């Protein structure tokens, strides 16, 4: 396993990040624990979750599953860089969502309790809160940092100008600010190349792509899949809209002798701004099969073909659309 710094921080994380959104709703607790044990065996030290995963309001089911795994001991907690998130509703009362000091404080305490740990390595804002001033957000994060409850702060689903706002105000407060941005990024969704990636590169912020397989669309969806997200009505509708392109994609992968899922992940790993794509295995077998992506080297010719098949916005703004 290769390890890289998370953005400009001194923190070293694996090139793949284990996503845990399936833990609970799709994957049993027993299997989830087995997957996490195997991830450590494979050298993955970076796990991503969120307080809303499990999708039962206020319960934080996935965090609880991880917490019970940490409680087994054996150095599990010490080996893992755990990232979780705050923003989404954890109840129906007015201050049980978003990024007020009150909600951030309570949400962090609740995540610590469920995760059975006394600190969170990377505390991420799950979305930007346009109704909360950055001074308030940073005051909350600074307090948690001083108390030793969080070590680093990340964002998720931020626009480029949100990242700039956040960093400039953090700089005024002599605070490190963001070290990572978790964004939708894959061959079919390259919008962040316009402004998010340039902003992150300018500020030394690592990119953690979510949905690297486009909800399964890039995972060999034409191969008769009858289960998982790739079998959903929404994905099947997109398949019909993109069938010609997907056929060309899967044929190219076949020529390379690699699975579409692993080629899609390898493409992300070839992007210089990317720290670690988030993988979301439902089984240990899926996890082990994914490791192949780390060994795939895509030639300039193949990268050019992928750009032609799935064109991005044309590079960073403003050159992407102006002289």
Q: What is the pLDDT of residues 160-194, one digit of tens each?
A: 999 999 999 999 999 999 999 999 999 999 999 99
Q: Answer whether 212's CB lies under 8 Å from 185's CB.
A: yes
pLDDT in tens, 27-54: 999 999 999 999 999 999 999 999 999 9
What pLDDT score does 234 carry?
75
pLDDT at residue 228, rounded to an integer: 55
Mean pLDDT for all residues in the chain: 96
Residue 116, SS3? coil
pLDDT at 223 over 90: no
pTM for the structure as a whole: 0.95
* Cα–Cα distance measured from residue 245 to residue 10, given in angstroms and rounded to the nearest whole number: 41
Laid out side by side, the sheet with 278-279 consists of 206-210, 178-184, 150-156, 120-125, 81-86, 46-48, 17-19, 278-279
Which band of pLDDT confidence, cut at 50, 70 and 90, is reported for residue 104? very high
320 within some domain? no
319: in domain: no
Whether residue 318 is contained in a domain is answered as no
The residue assigned the tokens 């400009």 is 8
Nearest CA-CA partner of 37 in 82, 75, 92: 75
- Supply the pLDDT for residue 229: 56
Under DSSP, the state recorded for 74 is T
pLDDT at 227 over 70: no
Q: What pLDDT score was predicted for residue 303?
A: 98
Residues in a beta bridge with 84: 123
Q: Exactly one of 53, 123, 152, 185 is catalytic; which is it?
A: 53
CATH number of the domain that 207 lies in?
3.20.20.100
Does residue 323 fall inside a structural domain?
no
User: For residues 34 and 28, what is the distance between their CA atoms, to the nearest angstrom?
Assistant: 10
**To the nearest whole percent, how much of the chain has pLDDT over 70?**
97
Residue 303 CB coordination number (10 Å): 13
Residue carrying structure tokens 């795939």: 296
Q: Which domain holds residue 74?
A: 3-309
Predicted confidence (pLDDT) at residue 231 exceeds the cutoff of 80: no
Structure tokens at 259: 């699975």
Task: Examine residue 67 and state whether it is found in any structural domain, yes or no.
Answer: yes
Residues 6+ apart with CB under 8 A from 105: 140, 143, 144
Residue 22 is assigned to a structural domain of this protein: yes
How many domains does one find in the chain? Answer: 1
pLDDT at position 89, please?
Answer: 95
Distance between CA 17 and CA 44 in Å, rounded? Answer: 7
Distance CA 44, CA 26 (A): 21
pLDDT at 225: 55
Q: Which helix (H) or strand (E) holds 206?
A: strand 206-210
Structural contact between residues 78 and 47, judged by C-beta atoms closer than 8 angstroms = no
- Contact partners, residue 193, CB within 8 Å, separation at least 6: 312, 313, 315, 316, 320
Q: Is 312 helix (H, G, I), strand (E, B) or coil?
A: coil
Give the pLDDT confidence of 53-85 residue by residue, as tens digits.
Answer: 999 999 999 999 999 999 999 999 999 999 999
145 included as an active-site residue: no
Residue 164 lies in a domain: yes
Q: What is the DSSP string of 210-261?
A: E-TTGGGTTTTTTTT--SSGGGSHHHHHHHHHTHHHHHHHHHHHHHHTS-HH
């Amino acid at each position: 396993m290769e390890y890289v710094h998370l953005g400009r921080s001194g923190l070293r994380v694996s090139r793949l990040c284990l996503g845990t959104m399936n833990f609970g709703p799709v994957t049993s607790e027993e299997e989830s624990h087995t997957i996490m044990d195997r991830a450590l065996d494979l050298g993955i030290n970076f796990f991503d979750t969120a307080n809303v995963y499990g999708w039962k309001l206020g319960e934080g089911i996935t965090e609880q599953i991880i917490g019970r795994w940490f409680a087994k001991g054996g150095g599990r907690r010490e080996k893992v860089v755990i990232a979780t998130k705050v923003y989404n509703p954890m109840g129906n009362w007015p201050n049980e969502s978003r990024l007020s000091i009150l909600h951030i404080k309570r949400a962090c305490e609740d995540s610590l309790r469920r995760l059975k740990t006394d600190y969170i390595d990377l505390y991420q804002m799950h979305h930007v809160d346009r109704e909360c001033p950055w001074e308030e957000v940073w005051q909350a994060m600074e307090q948690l940092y001083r108390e030793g409850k969080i070590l680093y702060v990340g964002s998720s689903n931020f626009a480029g100008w949100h990242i700039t706002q956040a960093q400039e105000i953090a700089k005024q407060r002599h605070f490190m600010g963001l070290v990572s941005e978790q964004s939708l990024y894959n061959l079919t969704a390259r919008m962040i190349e316009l402004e998010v990636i340039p902003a992150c590169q300018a500020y030394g912020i690592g990119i953690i792509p979510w949905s690297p397989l486009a909800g399964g669309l890039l995972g060999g969806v034409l191969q008769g899949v009858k289960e998982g997200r790739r079998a959903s009505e929404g994905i099947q509708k997109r398949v019909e809209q993109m069938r010609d392109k997907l056929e060309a994609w899967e044929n190219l992968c076949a020529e390379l002798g690699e699975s579409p899922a692993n080629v899609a992940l390898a493409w992300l790993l070839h992007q210089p701004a990317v720290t670690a794509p988030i993988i979301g295995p439902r089984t240990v077998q899926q996890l082990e099969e994914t490791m192949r992506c780390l060994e795939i080297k895509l030639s300039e010719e193949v990268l050019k073909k992928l750009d032609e098949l799935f064109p991005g916005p044309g590079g960073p703004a403003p050159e992407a659309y102006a002289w």
